């Protein structure tokens, strides 16, 4: 009796192990086929990939990777083969066949998108997708010509505003702000009711803020507040807050520049007074001060260290080098010429520190690093 019970128990264990082995091996067939198809897609062998995916989705429709295969077939039809109508059918088939799949919601959303934008003009949508696919790898000027030609020929194409918006963003990303602004303005004028119009106004405001044009940025935010309504209120408030910070930083920069200029002017007037009184002669002006040469050597090392690595820091150092030398040169010569008393020495040191502090503030502001420096002071290096 005991032997029979043990045998039955071992038999159950073997059955369970075999069931687990089969269950573990079953997905491996579909998984291997699916990833093999993806490799063929990456290699550009679309027909071969499509055959593997069709086999997986039709012959092995109960495999856990069958819905993945069907989704990839729909994506290929849309993006690789420029056949949006076929993609719509495949997305719909996935939703119908696998309603409980984690991919069903994505397929439904993408199918609805294609029905809205591609069903009426499948050929135009196919050309649009093909241009967008090449947009990040080919010459931007050529892509601009092709996309404009397509959208100008089909102005009622529903994705035209998004196409122009994408093109404007690409021009802005390569520093061609004039072209980007023209495209943004065109979207606002030709498609005022499209969501891309509000996005264009926000982009115009951000471009103007980045260029330091506070008036143009404020004008764009005001237009966005009128056009975007409640939807864009948060973006407008945040943009205006940053704009206020930009105005404050610009004021600080000009105060720093003014204090530096005032001290330099005072040093130059002091030199002129010393020359007139005979305390200095022209040969003193021709002889470079030793501390200026040491400072120039130090700044040359720092400029070399930041070259090609930290552009804003490099620019800040350039501004600081020039402004400091213009301050240090007359100050050092004047100090040797007039040999001030204790009170004069205190005034001279205070003036030099004020001028150099102004030079630092102005250099940081001119290089656009005021925000980073302020953040570092407030929050630390971490």
On whether both 141 and 102 belong to a single domain, the answer is: no
Token pair belonging to 122: 């499948």
Q: What are phi and psi of 211, to 5 degrees?
A: -85, -5
Q: What is the pLDDT of residue 256?
A: 84
Can you give the residue range of the structural domain that contains 151? 136-211
Q: What is the pLDDT of residue 105?
A: 93
pLDDT tens digit string along 159-187? Answer: 889 999 999 999 888 888 899 999 999 99
On whether both 82 and 179 belong to a single domain, the answer is: no
pLDDT tens digit string along 101-125? Answer: 898 899 999 989 888 888 788 888 8
- Is 216 part of any domain? no
What percent of the chain is modeled with pLDDT above 90? 8
On whether both 362 and 267 belong to a single domain, the answer is: yes
Instruction: Give the count of domains, the chain.
Output: 3
- Is 205 part of any domain? yes
Q: What is the pLDDT of residue 108?
A: 92
pLDDT tens digit string along 56-68? Answer: 888 888 888 888 9
Tell me the pTM: 0.61
On whether both 83 and 161 belong to a single domain, the answer is: no
Q: What is the pLDDT of residue 18?
A: 42
On whether both 266 and 361 belong to a single domain, the answer is: yes
221/161: higher pLDDT? 161
- Is 2 part of any domain? no
Burial track 161-174 (b if 16+ CB lie within 10 A, e otherwise): bbbbbbbbebbbee
For the chain, report the end-to-end CA distance as a whole number of angstroms.
73
CATH classification of the domain holding 203: 1.25.40.10
Highest mean pLDDT among 161-175, 235-249, 264-278, 359-373: 161-175
Q: What is the pLDDT of residue 96?
A: 92
pLDDT tens digit string along 368-382? Answer: 666 666 656 555 554
- Is 232 part of any domain? no
- Is 90 part of any domain? yes
pLDDT tens digit string along 293-351? Answer: 777 788 788 778 877 766 777 788 888 888 888 888 887 777 776 777 778 778 878 88
Of 2-11, 84-93, 193-202, 337-346, where does mean pLDDT reach its minimum?
2-11
On whether both 255 and 374 belong to a single domain, the answer is: yes
- Of 119, 152, 182, the one marking the end of a domain is 119
- Of 159, 184, 211, the one marking the end of a domain is 211
Average confidence (pLDDT) over 138-150 = 89
- Is 239 part of any domain? no
DSSP string of 248-310, one letter each residue: HHHHHHHHHHHHHHHHHHHHHHHHHHHHHHTS--HHHHHSPPHHHHHHHHHHHHHHHHHTTT-
- Of 190, 211, 232, the one marking the end of a domain is 211
pLDDT score of 24 more than 50: no
On whether both 207 and 255 belong to a single domain, the answer is: no
- Is 12 part of any domain? no
Mean pLDDT of the chain: 80
Q: What is the pLDDT of residue 208?
A: 83
- Is 64 part of any domain? yes
Nearest-angstrom CA–CA distance, 93 and 81: 18
């Amino acid at each position: 009796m005991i032997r029979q019970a043990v045998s039955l128990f071992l038999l159950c264990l073997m059955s369970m192990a075999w069931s687990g082995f089969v269950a573990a091996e079953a997905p491996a067939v579909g998984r291997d086929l699916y990833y093999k198809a993806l490799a063929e897609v990456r290699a550009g062998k679309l027909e071969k990939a499509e055959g593997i995916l069709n086999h997986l989705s039709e012959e092995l429709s109960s495999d856990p990777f069958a819905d993945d295969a069907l989704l990839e077939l729909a994506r290929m039809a849309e993006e690789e083969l420029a056949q949006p109508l076929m993609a719509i059918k495949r997305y719909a088939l996935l939703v119908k066949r696998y309603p409980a799949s984690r991919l069903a919601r994505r397929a439904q959303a993408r199918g609805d998108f294609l029905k809205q934008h591609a069903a009426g003009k499948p050929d135009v949508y196919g050309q649009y997708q093909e241009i967008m696919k090449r947009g990040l790898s080919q010459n931007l000027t050529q892509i601009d010509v092709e996309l404009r030609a397509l959208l100008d020929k089909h102005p009622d194409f529903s994705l035209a505003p998004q196409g122009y918006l994408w093109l404007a963003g690409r021009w802005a990303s390569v520093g061609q702000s004039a072209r980007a602004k023209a495209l943004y303005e065109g979207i606002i004028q030709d498609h005022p009711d499209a969501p891309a119009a509000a996005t264009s106004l926000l982009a115009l405001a951000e471009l103007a803020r980045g260029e330091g044009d506070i008036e143009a940025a404020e004008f764009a935010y005001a237009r966005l507040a009128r056009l975007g309504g409640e939807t864009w209120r948060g973006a407008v408030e945040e943009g205006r807050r940053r704009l206020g910070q930009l105005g404050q930083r610009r004021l600080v920069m000009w105060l720093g520049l003014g204090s530096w200029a005032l001290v330099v002017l005072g040093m130059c007037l002091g030199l002129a007074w010393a020359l007139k009184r005979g305390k200095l002669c022209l040969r003193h002006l021709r002889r470079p001060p030793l501390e200026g040469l040491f400072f120039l050597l130090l700044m040359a090392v720092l400029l070399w260290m930041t070259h090609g690595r930290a552009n804003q820091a490099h620019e800040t150092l350039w501004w600081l080098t020039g402004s400091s030398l213009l301050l240090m040169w007359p100050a050092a010569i004047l100090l040797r010429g007039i040999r001030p008393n204790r009170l004069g020495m205190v005034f001279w040191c205070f003036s030099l520190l004020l001028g150099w502090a102004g030079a630092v503030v102005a250099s940081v502001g001119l290089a656009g690093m005021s925000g980073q420096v302020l953040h570092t002071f407030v929050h630390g290096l971490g």
